[in-house]
Amino acid sequence: MDIVTLNEMIEALEDGRKFYAEAADKVSRADLKALFGDLAKTKETIANDLKTEAVHEQQKPAQHGSFSGRLRILYAETRAALSSDKDYTFIAALEESEDRILHVFGSAIVNSDDAKVRAIAQKHLAAVTRGHAQMSNLKRAKAA
């Protein structure tokens, strides 16, 4: 099993999950709190599926997000604290996080030599794409 690629997907999802959970606590709008909570749960569900698959294949799955993901969260939180529109700042940063997740899954589908990893990435691509679209649409609507 291509555990390196699988772990990249897990780390990207864990970064996204943590970021959504933290942002849900910091935004003011109830609808954003609910959406961010839902998207955090979706990321957790997908990551758990990937971890289960790795264990099933007798591989060691990543258990946490990445260091760079944590830095991105801290940077976004700092920007939001200094911003006059904290909600928009989080939306824009979360959309960037979704870009990363979508890229990692797309890369797994195209570049992994492991058919099982490609199939796992393909299985979850619709949910990943949906989360990305939700944040992109929110960002465009908020910017308008």
What residue spans define the domains of the chain? 3-143
- Residue 103 buriedness (CB in 10 A; 0-12 / 13-18 / 19+): middle
pLDDT digits (tens, 9 = 90+) for 27-71: 999 999 999 999 999 999 999 999 999 999 999 999 999 999 999
CATH of 3-143, one of 3.40.640.10, 1.20.1260.10, 2.30.30.100, 3.10.180.10: 1.20.1260.10
pTM for this prediction: 0.94
77, 71 contact by CB (below 8 A): no
pLDDT digits (tens, 9 = 90+) for 100-117: 999 999 999 999 999 999
